[in-house]
Amino acid sequence: MKKIRVLIAKPGLDGHDRGALVVAQALRDYGMEVIYTGLRQTPQQIVAAAIQEDVDAIGLSCLSGAHNELFPEIVSMLKDREAEDIIVVGGGVIPWEDIPFLESKGVQKVFTPGTPTKETAIFIEKAVRERDGLSEEVYTPPKKIDHIGIAVSSLEQALPFYVDSLHLQLEAIEEVPSEKVKIAFLKIGESKIELLEPLNDESPIASFIEKRGEGIHHIALSSDNIEDRLQELSERGIKLIHEKPVKGAGGANIAFLHPKSAGGVLYELCEKDTKEAE
């Protein structure tokens, strides 16, 4: 696939290019081709460079407060030069109250301080692929098996096998009231085994055990962008148990796919927010 080309530009007069340089490097490391304009570029210069370099996207960085004047001017000049297919995103010291204005002027996304660079890279990648009608290629495959869920009648009875006989390390025990279960996580390599004990008779685990006995209940796949992923699956006709992610153990965003669409296996998608509070 063709590499995405991005112009990182500093409109206005401020000389604070730490953010611009860091984002440029991060996008390069992500696999994009990046051109950096240097400081003090006028909107004309930025638009000319973007067209000449045939970029897919422009990332604007401004820390002086001139964004409301300069960002929209760049977007409108792109339109004048019939280059409005170039995606424009921005960042810097931008007050939250200015963001709706900038977005209404055609800046696709404003990244405020503290945004992980990867989030910026993923956003640009997705926007470019969508523009090019390649949205199905946006997604990377699930990264790993996050955990395997095993239904047990009693944690107390099940745990000694795992801890004492298999010598696995017990990481945490917690209750997930929404699912009416009490769970124990055991670490194994980069994955986990999750033991699920029903909290009461209404728990889905209780009915599972009643129907099929104790044993393997589900496989959880670690996933990025869970909401987009669910939408994609749904568009492909995969039946979902959760249309939207719900909060699961450890504060992760989770959603189950229906076993009918998955050859009788219950799959869970699970996204651990790295920013999650502990």
Return residues touching other proteins (CB under 8 A): 12-18, 21-22, 25-26, 38-40, 42, 64-70, 93, 95-97, 112-114, 116-118, 274-278
Q: Nearest approach, Cβ of 27 to other proteins (angstroms)?
A: 12
115 or 135, CB closer to other proteins? 115
16 or 242, CB closer to other proteins? 16
Contact in structure between 58 and 6 (CB atoms under 8 Å)? yes
Taking every pair of C-alpha atoms in the chain, what is the biggest distance, in angstroms? 71
18 or 239, CB closer to other proteins? 18
In the numeric block, which tokens belong to residue 181?
């279960």
C-alpha 256/C-alpha 210 separation (Å) is 20
Q: Nearest approach, Cβ of 98 to other proteins (angstroms)?
A: 9
CB atoms near residue 154 (< 10 Å) = 12
Residue type, 211: K
Residue type, 123: F
C-alpha 245/C-alpha 238 separation (Å) is 15
Q: Nearest approach, Cβ of 265 to other proteins (angstroms)?
A: 32
Q: Nearest approach, Cβ of 41 to other proteins (angstroms)?
A: 10
Q: Nearest approach, Cβ of 32 to other proteins (angstroms)?
A: 15
Which residue in 29, 78, 30, 26 sits closest to 57, CA to CA?
78
Contact in structure between 69 and 89 (CB atoms under 8 Å)? no
User: Dihedrals φ, ψ of 276, to 5°?
Assistant: -60, 140
121 or 206, CB closer to other proteins? 121
210 or 276, CB closer to other proteins? 276
13 or 172, CB closer to other proteins? 13
Angle at 19 between CA 84 and CA 47, to 5 degrees: 25
Which parts of the chain fold into alpha helices (H)?
18-30, 43-52, 67-80, 99-104, 117-131, 155-160, 204-212, 226-235
Q: Nearest approach, Cβ of 167 to other proteins (angstroms)?
A: 28
Q: Nearest approach, Cβ of 197 to other proteins (angstroms)?
A: 29
23 or 195, CB closer to other proteins? 23
Interstrand relation of 215-222 and 267-271 (parallel, antiparallel or unpaired):
parallel
